Amino acid sequence: MTSPAPTPWLLRWQGVLANTPAGPLSSRMPLVAGVVLCALMAGLPLVTRAGLSLLILASGLLWLVWALRTPARGLSPINGWLLVVLALAVLATGFSPVPAAAAKGLLKLLSYMAVYALMRQLLAAAPVWWDRIVAALLAGELVTSVIGLRQLYANTSELARWADPNSVASGTVRIYSTLENPNLLGGYLLPILPLAIVALLRWPGLARKLYALASLVLGASALVLTYSRGAWMGMVASLAVIGLLLAIRQTQTWPLLWRRLFPLLLLGGGALILVLLVTQVEPLRVRAMSLLVGREDSSNNFRINVWLAALDMIRDRPWLGIGPGNTAFNLIYPLYQQPKFNALSTYSIPLELAVEAGIPGLLAGIGLALASIRAGLAQWRQSGVLALPCLASVAVIAGLMVQGLTDTIFFRPEVQLIAWFCLATLAAAPALSRATDRP
């Protein structure tokens, strides 16, 4: 019999209180953690930043208490890459030209990682909480989508401030709901759609399925009406991935010819519907065509100028960047920006990673994404309790990666915390027995 792998020294502090008597909180940790995480996910688009900060802090403290009473189970590939990301962020903070500002970004990263750690611990201990957290997430999404859709029938003077008169799509009315920004609303709704699809397939009972279906339909409608081009491209990518993965999974017992043809027919049908929508619906056509006009569109022109400035920042500090966080970026970017092109970020996740932590930070981000996708695809033909949620998580990653090529909405907590939830799902799945519950 082979001996278990030794616990990495970085994790040996976990479980130091495992032999002490359990108090009321310790004995009810899954319930308390689940309630706090449900409140956090439901409140993402509704709670103030101060409220979100309190819930994030509570999640971090709960994970610390739980970890002190639970020995570590080793280091998974996803957790290993997360430690690499954290180590590079610490180094980038130490060598940053603005270390105090970078320290704020590092603290924010640590707080998000603590939420991820609590989610992973909870899902590994009680996977039934995946459904409850998703139900809470869909509740917040439903409220937000309804508020956004109602804006179409209200006074449009406020919505007009998001209509760029210098764009080829000028005059387009874009909803933003409670998030005050149509791009942020699109980024928030984007990762929820694959989760709603899996909830629709996975949840028993007509009422629960109708709840998931309503969330899916209203969320997709609201996302389209944000007219966020990055969110549109991300939605197409995520829905294509989840549709393809589910089709291949459900046709495993079909004849070989149909197993190969059906996914191709599904993708072809989806592409045909997409082409018809873009060519026949004028607002969609105008907004989509703005992607192809280059600098003639003011939004495209703005992003191109910011990207060029970001490349200059990477050229000057290619190995450890300027340090994590938007505070550090706001202090350094003005030294590189072109006149009249103020920016709060690089408007591209790959560029943002390279600016904050250099080329090693970019490579670590790519490594984490690949490890996450590999972990999700490993559940493809499994029957574990988190098998379908893992496929949804892969679709979420695909959608966010596509959107992230031209925007950095991902770094806002309303979007990033959903991504951490998907990452926790992928990290927790291998630890669960294949004999549990339904797929």
- When pLDDT is averaged across residues 305-315 and rounded to a whole number, the result is 93
Residues 439 and 436: their CA atoms lie apart, in Å, by 8
- When pLDDT is averaged across residues 1-18 and rounded to a whole number, the result is 60
pLDDT of res. 208? 96
pLDDT of res. 253? 76
* All residues at 6 or more sequence positions from 178 whose CB lies less than 8 Å from its CB, including other chains: 45, 46, 143, 144, 147, 148
Chain centroid to Cα 34, Å, comes to 19
Task: With H, G, I as helix, E, B as strand and everything else as coil, classify residue 319.
Answer: coil
Q: Report percent pLDDT > 90 for the chain.
A: 61
- Tens of pLDDT, residue by residue over 30-64, are 999 999 999 999 999 999 999 999 999 999 999 99
- When pLDDT is averaged across residues 180-189 and rounded to a whole number, the result is 94
Residues 18 and 220: their CA atoms lie apart, in Å, by 46
* All residues at 6 or more sequence positions from 392 whose CB lies less than 8 Å from its CB, including other chains: 194, 195, 197, 198, 242, 422, 425
Q: The whole model's pTM is what? A: 0.92
pLDDT of res. 259? 76
pLDDT exceeds cutoff 90 at 207: yes
Decide: 145 and 224 in contact? Cβ < 8 Å: no
- When pLDDT is averaged across residues 57-82 and rounded to a whole number, the result is 87
Give 163 or 351, the one with higher predicted confidence.
Answer: 351
Cα distances (Å, whole numbers) of residue 78 to 296, 378, 414, 428: 42, 13, 22, 10
pLDDT of res. 130? 96
Decide: 192 and 140 in contact? Cβ < 8 Å: no
- When pLDDT is averaged across residues 302-323 and rounded to a whole number, the result is 93
Residues 125 and 355: their CA atoms lie apart, in Å, by 37
pLDDT grade, residue 433 (50/70/90)? very low
- Tens of pLDDT, residue by residue over 119-144, are 999 999 999 999 999 999 999 999 99
Query: For the CA atoms of 381, 83, 13, 122, what is the dihedral angle to 10 degrees?
Result: -40
pLDDT grade, residue 285 (50/70/90)? confident
Give 58 or 268, the one with higher predicted confidence.
Answer: 58
Residues 162 and 140: their CA atoms lie apart, in Å, by 24
pLDDT of res. 438? 42
pLDDT of res. 248? 84
- When pLDDT is averaged across residues 340-350 and rounded to a whole number, the result is 88
pLDDT of res. 412? 94
The average confidence (pLDDT) of the chain is: 86
pLDDT of res. 439? 42
Residues 167 and 170: their CA atoms lie apart, in Å, by 5
Amino acid letter for position 6: P
pLDDT grade, residue 160 (50/70/90)? low
Q: Report percent pLDDT > 70 for the chain.
A: 86
- Weakest-pLDDT range from 171-180, 238-247, 280-289, 312-321: 280-289
- When pLDDT is averaged across residues 347-353 and rounded to a whole number, the result is 95
pLDDT of res. 295? 73
Residues 109 and 409: their CA atoms lie apart, in Å, by 15
- Weakest-pLDDT range from 39-43, 103-107, 294-298: 294-298
Residues 78 and 366: their CA atoms lie apart, in Å, by 12
Within 10 A of 57 (CB to CB), how many other CB atoms are there? 13
pLDDT of res. 89? 96
- When pLDDT is averaged across residues 320-341 and rounded to a whole number, the result is 91
pLDDT of res. 21? 61
- When pLDDT is averaged across residues 208-237 and rounded to a whole number, the result is 94
pLDDT of res. 277? 74
pLDDT of res. 268? 83
- When pLDDT is averaged across residues 235-255 and rounded to a whole number, the result is 87
Residues 80 and 337: their CA atoms lie apart, in Å, by 36
pLDDT of res. 161? 55
